[in-house]
Amino acid sequence: MFRKIMIFALAAVMLFTAGCAKKDDPQTTTASGTQTTAPASEGFDLSGCRIVNSISQPSALRQAAINLQTYISKNSGIKPEIVADSTGTDDSAVEIIIGETSRAQSAEAMNLLASAGYTGGAVIAKIGNKLVINGSSNETTLIAVKRFMNNGILNCGDGKVSCDVGSGIVFDLSGEIISAPGSRFFRIETKTVVYQPTKENPDVTLTYPRVVVLEHNGENNGQILVTGESLNEDAYIIHRSTDGGKTFEILSRIKADRSGMVANWQPFIYELPCAVGGLPEGTLLFSGCVRDRSTSSRTEIVVWKSTDLGASWQTLSTVATAGGIDKGVWEPFLYAENGKLYCFYSDDADPVCSQTIVLKVSEDGINWGDQIQVTACADANLRPGMASVTKMGNGEYFITYEMVGMDGNIVHYKKTKDLTDWGNVKENGTVLSAGGVSIGSAPYCAWTPAGGENGTLIVTAHNMAGGSSSTGTEWLISYDYGRSFKSIRNPLPYTLGDKHRYAYSPGLFVAGDGSVYYVNDINCEEKRFKDKASITLAHIIIE
C-alpha cells in the first residue's frame, strides 16, 4: 500500500515517530510511508544555526524558512537568523539549508534521492555542519520541511535545538501532488482502474462507485472492496484488491432475491465498526435500491450482509418500500456507532413534498424504527436527495445533499450533534460554496483527521452548480469543521458529456491512518471506449 522509504545509514537503525525512539523497531509504515533513521551517537545540535534559502526560490519556500524559524523560536526560545545563499559560505557554520541553493550541500543531498531510484521524493541529510532539506520539486521540499518539524525529527526545548537524522532520510513522494490552501498537499499515492469496458463487455455503463477498506477483520485488514452501478448487468458487482489497490478482481455479485426484481441501482458498501445486535464488528453490509424489472412500480431499500469478507451475501432486511418510479425510495447511506445502525435515504412517497431525506435506526440490522425526517423543505417542489454523512473531529455530524429545483441543482449541507435530530427540517440547509463557487448534483462528504489541527472536511460532486463547467468539478475542502470552504483541483479529473454521466455520485472512504480513498467514474482512457467510463480509484495522502 505504501512505497518503502530508503534510509542510508552508517550506524544502527532507530525509528522516530512523534518524537519517540524505539530501539527494537527498525521501521514502521504510516500514511506518509516508511521512515527509518540511523542516528549518530550524539544529536546534531542546531542551537547556533542559521537557515539558508535562495531569493530566487518561490515564495512558498521562502515562507517555509520563516515557518521553521517560528517553530524553533516558539519551542526553544532560540530564533535562528534567515540568510540568503548569497551570504558568504562558511563550512564551519551550522546551517539548515532549504531547497535548491548555491550551497554545494544542496546537490550533495540530492544524490541520496538519486541513489534510491525515486522519480519523486525528498531528503533530509546531515552533511558536515549542514542540515539539508531538499526535494525533487518545490512541493516535495515543502512536504519534507513539514515532516522535519512535525514528525519527531526536529526536537526543540530547554533552550536548545537538536535533530537526529543519521546520514540521511529519504522520502518516496512519487505520485501527482495537488497544492491546496493552507500549505497542504494532496498526494496521489496510487491510481488504479478498477473496472472498465472490455472487448468482451463493451456496453458496460458504470456510475455511482463506492469503496471500503477493511479495518475490523484482523489479518484481512487492508483489503479494498469497490462496487458501483453496472447498468447493463442485473447485479451489483464487488471488486476486491489484496495488494493495496494495485490490481482488482471480481469477488462476487449481489442479485435481487425475488423474481421480477432487479438490483443494480445506488449501491453502498460498509464494514461495521461496532457490533449491532447479533452482527459482530467487521460484518460487511451492502445496501441498494431494488426495483421492479418491468415497470418500476415498486422500489425498496434492501440490506445484505456478508460474513466471509464479501465472497457471498445474504439478504438481511428491507428498510423501506415505496410504490413506484415517481413515488420511490432511493440512494441509501449506512452509518453505525454505539450498537446502532442508521440508514439515510431519499423518499418520494411523502404526501406533501416532492422528495425528502429521511433516516431509520435499527438495533439489530433487521428491524427498523419509524422514519425520521432530516430535510423536508417548506417549498414542496424542491427535491433534496443523495445524502452522505460524516462525523467530524469536534463530534458534529455533517450531511451533504443535492437540492434539485434550486438554481437548477445546488449542494446544501447541515450539521448536528445528534444523528436523530437535524433541527427544523423545513429549512433547506446551507448552500455549500467556496469563494462564490458552488457544486451541483450527487455530492459525497468525508472528514479526515489529516491536514491540520481540525482535520480536513472534503466534499466532492458531479458538476459545478449550474453546469457551467465542462471539465467536471473541483473539490471543496474545509479546515474548520465546515464553517468555511476552499476549493482544490479534482484528483481524478474528467469531462462532462452527453453520452455518459461521468462522476455521477463519486465516493470517499477515510482510512484509520487518515489517508483518503476516492473512487469516481471518469472518462475511459482507451480510445475505442472514449464515450464510456471507467471506475477509477485514487489513494490520497494529505501532507
CA distance 535 to 533: 7
3-state helix, strand, coil in the chain (%, to 5): 10, 45, 45
Strands 284-292 and 299-306: antiparallel
Amino acid 258: pLDDT? 86
Model confidence pLDDT, tens digit, residues 335-363:
999 999 999 999 998 889 999 999 999 99
Report which of residues 325 and 171 the model is more confident about. Answer: 171
- Residue pLDDT, tens place only, 271-324: 999 999 999 999 999 999 999 877 667 899 999 999 999 999 999 999 999 976
Query: Is the model more confident about 461 or about 436?
Result: 461
Mean pLDDT, all residues of the chain = 88
Nearest-10 Cα torsion for 443, 449, 455, 456? -20
Report yes or no: 163 and 152 within 8 Å, Cβ to Cβ. Answer: no
Query: CA-to-CA distance for 151 and 181, rounded, in angstroms?
Result: 21
91 against 305, higher pLDDT? 305
Question: What is the pairing mode between strands 130-135 and 95-98?
Answer: parallel
Give the pTM: 0.91
Out of 40-54, 341-355, 376-390, pick the least confident: 40-54
Question: Would you say 389 and 333 are in contact if contact means Cβ atoms under 8 Å apart?
Answer: yes
pLDDT at residue 469 in the model: 56
What per-residue confidence (pLDDT) applies to 158?
81
Residue ranges of E strands in 31-151: 33-34, 44-45, 50-53, 81-84, 95-98, 121-127, 130-135
Question: How confident is the model at residue 88, as a pLDDT?
Answer: 81
Which pLDDT score, from 0 to 100, does residue 12 have? 24
- Give the mean pLDDT of 72-82: 94
